[in-house]
Amino acid sequence: MGLTIVQRRFASQVRLFTFIALLLSFCSSAIAVDVTVVDQQTALQDGMSLEQDRNWREAIRVYRAALKKWKDDEALKLGLRRSQFHYSIDRRYLDDSFKMSLKPMSLDAALSLYDDVIVNLQGYYVEPISVSTIVAHGTESLWLALGNEKFVEENLRGVSPEQVERLRRKLYEGYWNKRVPHRFSAQEVVTEVCELCKSEVGLDCGPVIMEYVFGACNCLDDYSSVLTPTKDKDLTGNIEGKFVGIGIVMEADLGAGMNLGQVLPDSPAFEAGLKRGDVITAVDGQDCRYMSTEEAASLLSGTAGSQVQLKIQRENAAPFSVRCVRREVKIKSVAVAKIIDSQNGIGYIQMTGFQQNTTQEMDDALRKLSAQGMKMLIWDLRENPGGLLNIAVEVADRFISEGVIVSTRGRAANQSSAFRAHAPGTWDMPLLLLIDENSASASEIIAGTIRDHHRGKIVGRTSFGKWSVQTIFRARFGTSIRLTTAKFYSPNGDTWGKVGLKPDIHVETGPTDRPLGDVDLVNDPDLQAALQFFTSQEYTKR
């Protein structure tokens, strides 16, 4: 997705940089699990059953899979919306930065943060949004939070269910879709709600206003949200390509533990011998088999130099333990750069993101492959969720000598731009681009540019369809606001949001398992199709 970082100076905005990456708000796609849906009614029943079990993540997956087939089903949409709300609430109450610094806020401090949110939503979101809509979604978020186990456990111990339901009823009757003419009225309405919650159930103003703060973005797209201090720090680490940790991508497998989807090269986990597919069952002696991903991640987090002990279950092996020392882990954008066919001079570059260090890594990879005799290049952007807009433009500029690379159009004046190519430093070797259903945003900018300039062929499957730009606005108390502020367009003026860009050479299915940094010339159908194209008699006669 596209993202611009903006420093909030309260009186003015100073733009730092723009980011385009797929940062899904509700469900990680790090370890994708296919969901099979048979019919609408069964999908709805399955989703509601998962909701009853408070398994919001799986409910979201079921509803999303069903809505791909029956996109206009209102019951499925409502189920997805409910599950997303509850999942967001659960995640907030597992976030120490939220619980320690945001939830306990005073009325004035919390209202000042809420005002930051309203100002930025009204001023910069790609579509106009009214204050009434913003407040209404905060009210909805609070109403749902009052029925959420974690919220109630944290804030309403000793309060009877009857008292909570009475408050929910009064909230619905008095404030549901209430007309709010301007942002100052919003503060008055939220203050009234705080007084109601205090008088009915003794609920402090901090938790109440935080539902309005974080619920505000629920009226926007899936890529807009308010970030806690911890989430803001995580995002900054992703942008910079570094973070403190042990270097794993994991997801909870209920009852089994934390399933490792990736182990980053040269990381503490890699050096400890951990592998993709391993399952963490305990962290420092604490059983994590029934934890959420966020709960286990909080146990794994720590300062550089500190140690963490993990109990590991590996397929067809006895359980064992490893000890890792946390340190700064650098995320390489270029995971592989090698010659895969020396006879024909075919180079291969696998790129996993567009971060601050990506352009330099790409330049180094191209020079290395050129020195090794590269005559043609296969550039792999499968599973690449995107990254920084300016980096996507810089990298595309290596292959396009002139003309527009991408343009952006937004509601705010500084969100509309056209980015152009420059002739110096352009590589002109034949090019094939690999994409799939998880190639998003910055990857789609590259694909659109390559296609519209007839610079090469695209191989694989239709891309994700994330053609929007997000801007990060720094707010008070260490928080930030991530907003969709523009859409981006290919050189020919096309935008493929929610549709995706189709490849020139379609490959029905990709590899079943592709670990980071792996190159499998035998079992990778996309790579085989690309090699076949480059080595075909028809092509070599050109």
pLDDT digits (tens, 9 = 90+) for 28-75: 333 344 577 778 999 999 999 999 999 998 999 999 899 988 989 999
Residue keyed to tokens 């999942």: 87
pLDDT at 542: 56
pLDDT at position 368 over 90: yes
pLDDT at 313: 96
Q: Which of 141, 439, 441, 463 is catalytic?
A: 441
Residue type, 501: L
pLDDT at 11: 27
Closest residue by Cα to residue 193 from 180, 212, 217: 212
Return the number of other C-beta atoms located less than 10 Å from residue 192's C-beta. Answer: 13
Structure tokens at 393: 């433009």
Is 441 in the active site? Answer: yes
Is 428 in the active site? Answer: no
Distance CA 147, CA 363 (A): 53
pLDDT at 187: 97
H-run or E-run covering 183: helix 183-201
Distance CA 501, CA 442 (A): 12
- For the domain covering 242-330, report its CATH number: 2.30.42.10
- With bands split at pLDDT 50, 70 and 90, how would you rate the model's confidence at 239? confident
Distance CA 164, CA 203 (A): 10
Strands 468-474 and 2-8: parallel
Asked whether 482 and 223 are in contact (CB, 8 A), the reply is yes
DSSP string, 371-422: HTT--EEEEE-TT--EEEHHHHHHHHHTT--SSEEEEEEESSGGG-EEEE--
Same fold? 242-330, 334-540: no
- With bands split at pLDDT 50, 70 and 90, how would you rate the model's confidence at 541? low
pLDDT at position 463 over 90: yes
Distance CA 457, CA 503 (A): 8
pLDDT at position 247 over 60: yes
Asked whether 148 and 248 are in contact (CB, 8 A), the reply is no
Q: Which of 466, 468, 480, 487 is catalytic?
A: 466
pLDDT at 21: 65
Residue keyed to tokens 């590899």: 511
Tell whether the torsion through CA atoms of 153, 154, 156 and 158 is positive or negative. Answer: positive
- State pLDDT tens for residues 113-151: 999 999 999 999 999 999 999 999 999 999 999 999 999
Domain ranges of the chain: 35-227, 242-330, 334-540
Q: Which of 73, 116, 232, 452 is catalytic?
A: 452
Closest residue by Cα to residue 349 from 459, 434, 261, 447: 434
- For the domain covering 334-540, report its CATH number: 3.90.226.10
Residues above pLDDT 90, as percent of the chain: 78
Asked whether 434 and 533 are in contact (CB, 8 A), the reply is no
Contacts of 161 (CB under 8 A, 6+ apart): none
pLDDT at 237: 83
pLDDT at position 327 over 60: yes
